[in-house]
A and B are shown apart, each in its own frame.
Chain A
């Protein structure tokens, strides 16, 4: 079916529209273009939990002062339902080195993304919001992806 060729595109459209609606009608702001971010929202959730259970005082978006963002929880729930429905759920083990590298990459990516103030999708939302800094961050992200792609190609050839 030809529509499957565009399925990722449709997913992207849904993300974009729902993120815009989240800000416009469901008070997921400030800051602006904050309707979807897979680093900022988990970061807010962790900060909220630490503030409320460990007595810290990390800054939290006004939208999530009373209750934490549940975006990451929702993504996992949705993915479990989809994978289960299509019989694609099941524990798949990995080699030890790959697991340790995954921990390291997760750690680094969380820090890099929070330093850049967003995930790749938030950069896209900022670009949609007409933000020049969003464009600069997106270009920087693409540069990083390009460098890694070159590294992978060179590693494959050697």
Chain B
């Protein structure tokens, strides 16, 4: 139960700050590539810095930070290549869509119609992944082993 409440509180905090700051992880790199604008990129770097300091500090404070640092946690080559392809596709499509999933949720909350339609496709896509895509992935991974 505590995990669920934590995700709700973090979500409310991120949603509030994200709306005020126009935070977007994809936008950070996109704006830098297109216009050398680093405003949103600072946001993404802030995530990495904050989490890095957080994990170290919380580990020393007795929090659950198992197997830290993960180090060489590479999966077998075929799943790794599939994940790389997914990440490239995620980056490419997110730029064309106009923002990362967090930003799209925030824009939908603001009342932007295209973001609401994005979320419709997003959640349908999740259902499709669970029902169809994940089965193909299991087949690919099992054949490669």
- The answer to whether A82 touches B20, judged by C-beta atoms less than 8 angstroms apart, is yes
Cα–Cα, bound, A121→B75 (Å): 20
- Assuming the contacts A46-B123, A145-B30, asked whether A75 and B113 have C-beta atoms less than 8 A apart, the reply is no
Cross-chain contact of A144 among B16, B44, B89, B137 (Cβ < 8 A)? B89
Do B50 and A17 touch across chains, with their CB atoms under 8 A apart?
yes
Determine if B51 and A19 form an interchain contact, defined as CB atoms under 8 angstroms apart. Answer: yes
A94-B114 contact, Cβ under 8 Å, with A71-B7, A115-B137, A121-B47: yes
- Can you list, as one digit per residue, whether each of A82-116 has a CB less than 8 Å from chain B (1) or not (0)? 11001011111110001111111111111111111
Docked complex: A20-48 residues within 8 A CB-CB of B? 20-29, 32-33, 35-36, 38-39, 41-43, 46-47
B14 and A76 contacting across the interface, CB-CB below 8 Å:
no
Size range of the interface on B? 35 or more
| Neighbouring A residues of B94 by C-beta, 8 Å | 105, 109, 120, 144-145, 148
The reply to whether A12 and B50 form a contact with Cβ atoms under 8 Å apart is: yes
Would you call the interface of chain B mostly helix, strand, loop, or mixed?
helix
Asked if residues A43 and B8 are in contact (CB atoms below 8 Å), the reply is no
A21–B58 CB distance below 8 A:
yes
**Complex: how many Å from CA A12 to CA B47?**
4
Interface size on A, residues (CB 8 A): 118
Closest B residue to A147 by beta carbon equals B92
Are B15 and A77 in contact, with the CB atoms below 8 A? yes
B residues 75-112 near A (Cβ < 8 Å) are 75, 80, 82-97, 100-102, 104-106, 108-112
Is B53 within 8 A of A74, CB to CB?
A: no
Beyond A78-B12, A86-B20, 15 extra complex contacts between A and B, CB < 8 Å: A11-B23, A21-B54, A24-B64, A42-B101, A70-B7, A75-B102, A76-B108, A78-B11, A79-B15, A79-B18, A92-B112, A110-B129, A120-B100, A144-B89, A145-B95
Give me the 8 closest cross-chain CB pairs, A-B, nearest first.
A74-B11, A130-B69, A12-B46, A16-B50, A78-B15, A144-B91, A24-B63, A20-B54
Q: List 26 A-B contacts (CB under 8 A).
A: A11-B46, A12-B45, A15-B50, A20-B51, A24-B64, A41-B7, A46-B126, A73-B8, A76-B109, A79-B16, A79-B110, A81-B16, A105-B94, A108-B125, A109-B97, A110-B121, A112-B86, A125-B47, A125-B51, A133-B83, A144-B92, A144-B94, A145-B92, A147-B88, A148-B94, A149-B34
